[in-house]
């Protein structure tokens, strides 16, 4: 059973070696509805922290040439917020470490000025002018304004485990760790995009909450998730279901594991998992991601001794954005990391080669990118 909540894994992880060269982030995505037109729009909110050991009063940007020339690594809290669909955008607000209040206890919280997040709520504001963005390319973002006040209720979890998980985490052996406390999450509240009000309705928020931490990012980078699912077998909504796929080429110490994904399919209360780290399940994976002129396309096939899944997802590039991060070492190698919240597609789930259901999915959170030189 992977549906095991563990808020200890949502705690702040940048200690020992990761404090000097490491990142930790808490990601939230959901759908909201225009207060006037009722049009739906997907949003995301992320609190990203990097290299606390070298922090100071002001944020340190790894993309500034003066810092690159001196070998100075980035250090800050970045509050990343944005929206997908028409006029997709990402906004970044940075804080120096000395101006951040972050708990290293369980449950976690992060507070910087009027930006706040913990397990059950988040609020804040990020505003940037055209002039600021033009004068500061190191901000790696667009202009605009987003303000939010949101409650968070995490329902279904994906606890990936990694077998001897605690030992792996304590020794910091993986280059990139992942925990999903809210594969299905109910959000409620309000969010304002450039002054336009959007309402978040829990049962129609199709929300998701996870966290990643480590030393560097994977390449290729794959993520697919949704809990807005409908059975093609019965024609009914699957109200107690969700799926999540993540990974690419994970590294354990110096060893790079080729083309591996971690996947969980929670189908009306039953767990179907495809996890390479649980070697006894004999998980085998094939996946392809490609970029066309208008779409990003994902195809995933996974098998264990008893189960099989086939996933086909597409997302329109016009609804996506190229999401920006710099790694703790100061490099920005992901320059075409496509990120969206409007994916659509199908999932075929099998048990003993017998089709359990073919599922239609919408409001899919999705990501694909590979390192560029």
Phi, psi (degrees; rounded to nearest 5) at 165: -55, -45
Closest CA to 105 of 230, 208, 231, 8: 8
Query: Which pLDDT does position 373 carry in this prediction?
Result: 64
- Domain spans, the chain: 7-369
* Confidence (pLDDT) at 174: 57
By the 10 Å C-beta count (0-12 exposed, 13-18 middle, 19+ buried), 26 is classed as buried
What is the reported pLDDT for 251?
52
> 221 vs 57, 59, 319, CA distance in Å?
33, 27, 19
CA–chain centroid gap for 194, Å, is: 23
Q: Buried (b) or exposed (e) across 317-353, using 16+ Cβ within 10 A?
A: bebbbebbbbbbebbbbbeebbbbbbbbbebbbbeee
Contact 19/53 with Cβ under 8 angstroms? yes
Which pLDDT value is given to residue 47?
Answer: 98
Alpha-carbon span 364 to 346, nearest angstrom: 11
Burial of 254 from C-beta contacts in 10 A (0-12 / 13-18 / 19+): exposed
| DSSP SS3 for 8 | helix
pLDDT under 70 in the chain at which residues? Answer: 162-174, 248-259, 373
According to DSSP, residue 278 is labeled S
- Tell me the CA distances in angstroms from 258 to 112, 218, 247, 297, 310, one per residue in order: 39, 11, 10, 20, 20
What pLDDT does 342 receive?
Answer: 97
The pLDDT mean for the chain works out to 93
> What is the distance of C-alpha 206 from the center of its chain?
14
220 cis-preceded (ω within 30 degrees of 0) = yes
Across-strand partners of 125?
A: 147
Give dist(CA 13, CA 243) in Å, integer. 26
The β-bridge partners of 295 are: 316
- For residue 240, give both structure tokens: 């107690």
Give dist(CA 4, CA 342) in Å, integer: 27
- Give, in order, the Cα–Cα distances in Å from 182 to each of 7, 174, 207, 272: 10, 22, 8, 17
List, as one string, the DSSP characters of 158-184. Answer: E----SSHHHHHHHT-BSEEEEEEEEE
The number of helix segments (H) and strand segments (E) in the chain equals 4, 25
Closest CA to 40 of 85, 81, 80, 82: 85
Dig out the tokens for 206 from the structure. Answer: 């199709």
Model pLDDT, residue 171: 43
pLDDT of residue 168: 45
């Amino acid at each position: 059973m992977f549906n095991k909540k563990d808020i200890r894994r949502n705690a702040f992880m940048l200690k020992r070696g990761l404090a000097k060269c490491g990142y930790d982030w808490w990601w939230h995505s959901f759908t909201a509805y225009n207060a006037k037109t009722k049009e739906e729009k997907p949003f995301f909110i992320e609190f990203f922290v990097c290299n606390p050991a070298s922090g100071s009063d002001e944020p340190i940007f790894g993309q500034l040439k003066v810092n690159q020339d001196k070998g100075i690594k980035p250090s800050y809290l970045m509050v990343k917020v944005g929206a997908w669909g028409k006029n997709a955008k990402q906004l970044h607000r940075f804080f120096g470490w000395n101006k951040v209040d972050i708990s290293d206890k369980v449950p976690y919280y992060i507070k910087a000025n009027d930006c706040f997040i913990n397990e059950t709520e988040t609020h804040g504001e990020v505003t940037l002018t055209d002039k600021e963005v033009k004068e500061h390319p190191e901000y790696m973002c667009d202009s605009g304004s987003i303000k939010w006040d949101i409650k968070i209720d995490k329902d279904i979890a994906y606890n990936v485990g990694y077998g001897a998980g605690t030992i792996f985490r304590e020794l910091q052996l993986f280059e990139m760790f992942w925990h999903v406390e809210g594969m299905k999450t109910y959000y409620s509240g309000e969010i304002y995009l450039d002054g336009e009000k959007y309402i978040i309705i829990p049962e129609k928020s199709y929300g998701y909450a996870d966290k990643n931490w480590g030393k560097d990012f994977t390449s290729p980078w794959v993520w697919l998730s949704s809990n807005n699912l409908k059975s093609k077998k019965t024609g009914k909504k699957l109200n107690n279901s969700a799926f999540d796929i993540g990974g690419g080429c994970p590294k354990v110490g110096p060893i790079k594991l080729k083309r591996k994904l971690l996947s969980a399919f929670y189908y009306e209360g039953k767990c179907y998992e495809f996890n390479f780290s649980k070697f006894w399940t004999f998980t085998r994976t094939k996946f392809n991601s490609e970029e066309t002129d208008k779409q990003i396309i994902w195809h995933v096939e996974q098998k264990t001794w008893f189960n099989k899944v086939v996933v086909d997802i597409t997302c329109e590039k016009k609804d996506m954005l190229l999401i920006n991060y710099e790694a703790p070492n100061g490099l920005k190698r992901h320059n075409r990391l496509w990120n969206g919240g409007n994916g659509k597609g199908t999932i075929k789930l099998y048990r003993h080669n017998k089709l359990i259901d073919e599922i239609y999915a919408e409001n899919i959170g999705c990501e694909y990118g590979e390192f560029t030189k």
